[in-house]
Structure 1
Amino acid sequence: MRLDLALSLVGAAATVNAFDREKFRLKSSTQYTKSSEAAVISLKLAKRGGDYVDVATELVKTVAPDAEFRVIDDHYVGTNGIGHVNFRQTAHGVDIDNAIFNVNIDKNGNVFSYGNSFFTGDLPAEAPASANSLPIDSIKALNIASELLGLSIETNDAALEESSDVYVIQGVSGASQNPESKLVYLIKPDGNLSLSWKVDTVTQETSYSSYVDINAAEVVGVSDHVSAATYEVYPIGLNDPWEGERSIVENPEDSTASPNGWLGRNNGYDATFGNNVRAGALPVAEVLYTKPNANGTYVFDYIPDGGDPVDFRDAAVTQAFYTTNMLHDLYYLFGFTPAAGNFQLSNGDEGGKANDPVDVLIQHYAGKNNGLFSQTVDGRSPTLTMYVFDKTDPYRDGAFDQGFLIHEYTHGLSGRLTGGAATSACLEDWEADGMAEGWSDLFASALAIKPDDTSATAQYGFAAWPLNVTSPRTARLVMYSTSRDVNNWTYSNANGLEKVHQVGTVWATMLYDILWSLIDKHGKNDNPRPDFVDGKPTDGKFLWLKILTDSFSIQPCNPTFIQARDAILDADLALTGGENKCEIWKGFAGRGLGANAVYDRSNRVDNFDLPAGVC
């Protein structure tokens, strides 16, 4: 979960400022045109059947004929054959930062579906003045943002270096990297445009994009991007130390996803620094513990509750390195490749932007009882942070809760794919942010399924072990279960919830039912990776995770529950021809997100109807 979400779950980290996140959350008005509706407009396009970028561009010109826009440089063709092209609206050559049009093109060159959050109001009559003629400069904007966010960034010696249309603010202190600023427009919640400095700041604990209105000299929006060989580890399938013993795992890397292995010795690194992940401990500020350096044998002692976390640091770093690399390889097989914007130091010749492996920092000095993931755009390394938990004596290390690591890393998957890898704010609106929590819980729950679990018996609870929560075993308000006696939540339960991870529980509850419906239909693969036939996993568990992964690229920027549901159905249509639409519809309708469910930000209405003829 990102920073504000993690705090709401388990208590604040020691040094984080608690500004009013909801007041400054980016809002959007997104439309999604699903495949059955997009087919009509596709027939009218002259370039239909041609290059997928050209077809997508013609569609945008057709749907928004008066709009000025640019192609975002993150388009690619997914493993399901769907081409994904993202566009950003501009005004007088200046980006409207939260106006995104995403187009999905099928393998025949036809429009498959699309999402649209372009601005339709009155545009400025004239281009903005040059940067040095504006009421405030980007350094002043940085100071305004830092004050609101409670960041200890000092700019007394700051100087600007212009690179294209981005200003790098050098000579500051208190930031992990030089802040950057860019002049953009922002669609405000009231529907008007604000000409703003977009100020990107990264510290040890935070990663924000703040929008500072140049005329009002105040922050009008904030995007929080912190949504935390041989190995002896808890293997995929064991969620935490309560569930079993560690075991020796040899050469677990996938040769397709990680052809040069996980360890980075060939890249000049030692120890748990590799192409996909750079893992270490940060118990003291600015002192990164990069061991273990074990020459390929990462076998270290660990006794649960047998001592302080520092006593078992080598084992904890090894666990974090193993789990996140396993996820890199699995998600690569699902289609989260370099072209799609995944996290790798070197992309070879596979496209995308390189130099962005995930930095995994455990036993972080800055807080307790949390896990964080900082979202970034392609080409910039995100950070997964795990803290020590102080709910037991001795303390417990969050790195040994595999479900927590899966949850955090999956924020990177959904965040990079939704809206494209060059955009990091497409899961910011209230329901979209909540669904990001739900997807992360669902992936963690799926990868914790045991060989003897069934749809009638399986239950999953999040973060119970590090928090020492036993009745029930979850940090969420309910367990995930198909049983209505255990979990009777429906769509309307999202009304009145105060935390986005609670909204995520509503969403994951629906997805969990569908997970088991597909397992009952297609069977269950208990291996850590799927078997594929014609690009499709052969079992229900991995098939569902593949469909969800595909849906991230298909859905619009900042979707609602209903739009994400439709994108999931479209993802199944693209991958399987729609052979699972009955199970998917039954899962959603059974939890109130049926064909006639009504979305309203404060008054969602349940509906349990199936579309005619779907089953």
Structure 2
Amino acid sequence: MAQSQISSKAVQHLSDSYEQIGLEASDIENVIVDHAYTDDKGISFIYLVQTHEGVPVYNAIMTIAISKKGKVMTTANRFIHDLKSKVASTDTNVSAVEAIQNVAKHFNIETTVSALRTDNKTGVSYFSANELAISEIPVSFKYEADAEGKLHKAYDLSIDMKENADYWSVRVDAQTGNILSKNNWTVYCNHDHNKMSISDHSCKTDFIQHTNARHNSAVLGDGASYRVYPFPAESPLQSDPVLLVDPSDAEASPLGWHDTDGMDGAEYTITRGNNVHAYIDSLSNNNSVGGEPEGGENLVFDFTHDQSNEPNKNTEAAQVNLFYANNFLHDFTYNLGFNEVAGNFQANNYSGEGNDSDYVRAEAIDGSGVNNANFSTPPDGGS
């Protein structure tokens, strides 16, 4: 079935069964098909969004799974019952610029906000606030619930913070300018000195089997080699460094880890490619300080890690291992279903499905701290 047919089937299923899941007819008016895709097993996933007067309701999502034969398998519902009775305000008394400035004040930051452009197709407007965010701030309207469950028309903002690794998703009341809700797309992990975690053994077995499958593949990538601590090792305490040759997965990264244009031949000979750009961010500004390890024409990244040295003396090895680890996880999860159409992280989606331009920016020796890690996951297409 074509995606349009699948989406139509999902909407029809909702029309036929809304009473069974505790909704009113008015609750499903003008439902939006936000996203739909079919996995490699033929199961289609359709994500519907509830709206009020054409404006999406934040997190009011329904997911419908349809089998290869066209049968509805499951429905996960987060629509709001009797939506219209819960709408408290529809007015827009605050501008988008004022909304951003209010968020900046919330974080104790003074900034100048400038309007950049509006995408007429999506209705999303973009702003700059250089003291607040390191990238453009997209703004659109949503309805958001307050603590009492009342819905307010709000500005929905995404802010990649300049002063730290936080990536905030924020709703600002369009009538009062108050912040209704916020959540951080960045997850942090901090480790005490001399402490480490041990992964589940079944997961390690999966890693080993996947590694063996890749190395036995008859399809080669770009012939690159990397001296790393290979999975399932979690640290230098669990393995000696090994020079892996062509570890990319033939299905997940068919042209190796240094391609970006979808044609044979590497675009980069440093630790950068379609899935990952690994670099040093010692200035903690989410940018490379330059000087990424160079693999040359043959893509040989053979850099020794000396455990007796401080981290700043092992920068090449650190970046190579980080590049390897992130690419490995890209390939590993790709084969578990986290592929292009499912919203994975790639600069170029070779299949043409899903949103690209969202490769992982992997930062080694980050100047924000030590013995830590963080990872930000904005919506598909954001890096």
Partner of 1:476: none
Confirm or deny that 1:201 pairs with 2:159: yes
Separation of aligned partners in 1, 2:104 and 2:129: 15
Aligned to 1:340, what secondary structure does the other structure show? coil
Counterpart contact for 2:258–2:267, Cα < 8 Å: no
* 1:99-498 matches, cutoff 5 A: 99-123=60-84, 128=90, 134-150=92-108, 152=109, 154-155=111-112, 158-164=114-120, 165-170=123-128, 172-204=130-162, 205-227=165-187, 229-264=224-259, 266=265, 268-284=267-283, 285=285, 286-295=287-296, 296-304=299-307, 306-381=308-383
* 1:328-372 deviations in Å (ceiling 9; x for gaps): 111111111111111111112341111111111111112233211
Counterpart contact for 2:141–2:153, Cα < 8 Å: yes
Separation of aligned partners in 2, 1:303 and 1:148: 45
* 1:22-44 deviations in Å (ceiling 9; x for gaps): xxxxxxxxxxxxxxxxxxxxxxx
Aligned to 1:339, what secondary structure does the other structure show? coil
Separation of aligned partners in 1, 2:291 and 2:259: 12
Instruction: Give percent identity, aligned residues only.
Output: 25
> Do the aligned partners of residues 69 and 227 (structure 1) sit closer, same or farther apart at CA in structure 2, a change above 3 Å counting?
farther
Separation of aligned partners in 2, 1:230 and 1:344: 21
Give 1:118 deviation, angstroms.
0.6
Aligned to 1:318, what secondary structure does the other structure show? helix
> Do the aligned partners of residues 211 and 234 (structure 1) sit closer, same or farther apart at CA in structure 2, a change above 3 Å counting?
same
Counterpart contact for 1:279–1:290, Cα < 8 Å: no
* 1:536-563 deviations in Å (ceiling 9; x for gaps): xxxxxxxxxxxxxxxxxxxxxxxxxxxx
Partner of 2:201: none
> Do the aligned partners of residues 379 and 122 (structure 1) sit closer, same or farther apart at CA in structure 2, a change above 3 Å counting?
closer
Separation of aligned partners in 1, 2:236 and 2:366: 21
Separation of aligned partners in 2, 1:289 and 1:236: 27
Aligned to 1:342, what secondary structure does the other structure show? coil
Partner of 2:13: 59
> Do the aligned partners of residues 376 and 166 (structure 1) sit closer, same or farther apart at CA in structure 2, a change above 3 Å counting?
same
Give 1:126 deviation, angstroms.
11
Q: Quick check: which one's strand share is greater?
A: 2
Aligned to 1:58, what secondary structure does the other structure show? helix
Give 1:51 deviation, angstroms.
3.6
* 1:100-152 deviations in Å (ceiling 9; x for gaps): 001011111111001111111342789945xxxx21111111111122234x4
Give 1:282 deviation, angstroms.
0.5
Question: Greater relative contact order: 1 or 2 (C-alpha under 8 angstroms, separation 6 or more)?
Answer: 1
Structure 2 residue identity aligned to 1:297: V
Aligned to 1:75, what secondary structure does the other structure show? strand
Partner of 1:423: none
Instruction: Tell me the number of residue pairs that the alignment of Structure 1 and Structure 2 aligns.
Output: 326
> Do the aligned partners of residues 116 and 352 (structure 1) sit closer, same or farther apart at CA in structure 2, a change above 3 Å counting?
same
Give 1:153 deviation, angstroms.
5.7
* 1:424-453 deviations in Å (ceiling 9; x for gaps): xxxxxxxxxxxxxxxxxxxxxxxxxxxxxx
Give 1:243 deviation, angstroms.
1.3
Separation of aligned partners in 1, 2:229 and 2:153: 50
Separation of aligned partners in 1, 2:380 and 2:145: 23
Q: Which moved more, 1:314-323 or 1:186-195?
A: 186-195
* 1:224-266 deviations in Å (ceiling 9; x for gaps): 1112711111111111122121111110001111111101484
Counterpart contact for 2:257–2:274, Cα < 8 Å: yes
* 1:502-517 matches, cutoff 5 A: none
Structure 2 residue identity aligned to 1:302: H
Counterpart contact for 2:279–2:288, Cα < 8 Å: no
Give 1:162 deviation, angstroms.
2.1
Structure 2 residue identity aligned to 1:154: T
> Do the aligned partners of residues 72 and 359 (structure 1) sit closer, same or farther apart at CA in structure 2, a change above 3 Å counting?
farther
Counterpart contact for 2:89–2:175, Cα < 8 Å: no
Give 1:73 deviation, angstroms.
4.2
Separation of aligned partners in 1, 2:266 and 2:101: 39
Separation of aligned partners in 1, 2:143 and 2:129: 27
Aligned to 1:232, what secondary structure does the other structure show? strand
Counterpart contact for 2:88–2:151, Cα < 8 Å: no
Give 1:188 deviation, angstroms.
3.0
Structure 2 residue identity aligned to 1:256: E
Q: Quick check: which one's helix share is greater?
A: 1
Counterpart contact for 1:352–1:378, Cα < 8 Å: yes
Counterpart contact for 2:341–2:354, Cα < 8 Å: yes
Structure 1 residue identity aligned to 2:140: K
Equivalent residue in structure 1 for 2:58, among 87, 97, 101 = 97
Partner of 1:79: 40
Separation of aligned partners in 2, 1:98 and 1:198: 12
Structure 1 residue identity aligned to 2:138: E
Counterpart contact for 2:90–2:152, Cα < 8 Å: no
Separation of aligned partners in 1, 2:172 and 2:318: 41
Counterpart contact for 1:264–1:270, Cα < 8 Å: no
Aligned to 1:112, what secondary structure does the other structure show? strand
Partner of 1:598: none
Partner of 1:15: none
* 1:463-512 deviations in Å (ceiling 9; x for gaps): xxxxxxxxxxxxxxxxxxxxxxxxxxxxxxxxxxxxxxxxxxxxxxxxxx
Counterpart contact for 1:119–1:187, Cα < 8 Å: no
Partner of 2:220: none
* 1:395-452 deviations in Å (ceiling 9; x for gaps): xxxxxxxxxxxxxxxxxxxxxxxxxxxxxxxxxxxxxxxxxxxxxxxxxxxxxxxxxx
Structure 1, unmatched stretches of 5+, are 1-46, 382-615
* 1:306-348 deviations in Å (ceiling 9; x for gaps): 1110100100101110011111111111111111111111112
Aligned to 2:35, what secondary structure does the other structure show? coil
